[in-house]
Amino acid sequence: MSDTIHLKAADGTEAALALAGAEPVSWRVGGTEYLWNGDPEHWNRHAPWLFPVVGASVGGVVRVEGRTYPMAQHGFARDLPFAVVERADDAVTLRLTETSETLAHYPFRFRLDVTARVRPAGLDFAVVVHNPGDTALPYGLGFHPAFPWPFAGGTRAADGGYAVEFEQAERAGVPEVGPGGLLLREERPIHLDGTTLPLDPALFTEALVFRDALSRTMRFTGPGGRAIRMAVEDFPHLAVWTKPTAPFLSLEAWTGHADWAGFSGELAERDAQRLLAPGATAHHGIRLDLEG
């Protein structure tokens, strides 16, 4: 079997997912690519899934019942092979479960299913987290897609005509991000024009993290009215990120976030970490649309 699954909708919209990480690596509408190409000069990923943590952990470890376990930023799911569960021309379900490798970092049984479905000018994801174990499952889940910037003409300059539009007016301040990607209690002011964040590469010394966001949708808008819209279901935290010289923009959706600097508690006590009861299942969703 190929390491990449290709999907196609009736109108010709195409998507591709790598079995590694269940990561979307292509989304083509009308023959044009709208996912970042993964150029390693800037960022060697496209749209990774983050699990079982989002962001960095203090000291690069998590604690469970007094023991420490190594945990990479954003967890391990993005680097592990998923298995194909179901397949159709326009959809696929991919699955990751615990292994001896994951148990060395995260001592829990789990099942993570990612279902992708391509449709005219759109791409949907249904993500299911299931706890088959007999203890509560602490988890964080995130989606980290990046899109070409620019994608509709113009430039990345501050006056290049690009913006992120939120569904609701968000706080005009975001947490500072400290060394190692940890969150600080100090806030950084940002300029929001109502619900609109005008884009300027100079904004992005670190990610802009909108904790407990009011919005359930974000639109990455370009010149001429074209936009990439991302709608989320049960992802309360949103983020916008790029590197100052990189030709992409990432719209992110998270259930949790990085540790606060100085945190020393258990994984289950991590701020915004979910706790899934034994035998329980949680559902999360993402919908991407090309508009204009």
Distance CA 145, CA 203 (A): 19
Cis previous bond, 150, omega within 30: yes
Q: Quote the pLDDT of residue 157.
A: 85
Of 253, 266, 166, 179, residue with least CA distance to 211 = 253
DSSP 162-192: -EEEESSPPPSEEEEE-GGG-EEEEEEE---
Whether residue 255 contacts residue 284, with contact meaning beta carbons closer than 8 Å, is answered with: yes
Q: Quote the pLDDT of residue 31.
A: 95
> How many Cα atoms occupy the beta-carbon half-sphere of 20 within 13 Å?
6
> Would you list the domain boundaries of the chain?
4-291
Q: Quote the pLDDT of residue 136.
A: 98
* 3-state SS assignment for residue 68: strand
Q: Which residue has the tokens 């000291």?
A: 59
Distance CA 63, CA 74 (A): 16
Any bridge partners for residue 28, and if so which? Answer: 14, 33
Q: Quote the pLDDT of residue 1.
A: 54
Under CATH, what is the fold of the domain 4-291?
Beta-galactosidase; Chain A, domain 5 (2.70.98)
Q: Quote the pLDDT of residue 72.
A: 97
Tokens of 55: 């962001």
Distance CA 209, CA 246 (A): 19
Tokens of 142: 């995130």
Sign of CA pseudo-dihedral 87, 92, 93, 94: positive
- pLDDT (tens, 9 = 90+) of the chain, 292 residues, equals 579 999 999 999 999 999 999 999 999 999 999 999 999 999 999 999 999 999 999 999 999 999 999 999 999 999 999 999 999 999 999 999 999 999 999 999 999 999 999 999 999 999 999 999 999 999 999 999 999 999 988 888 888 889 999 999 999 999 999 999 999 999 999 999 999 999 999 999 999 999 999 999 999 999 888 999 999 999 999 999 999 899 999 999 999 999 999 999 999 999 999 999 999 999 999 999 999 8
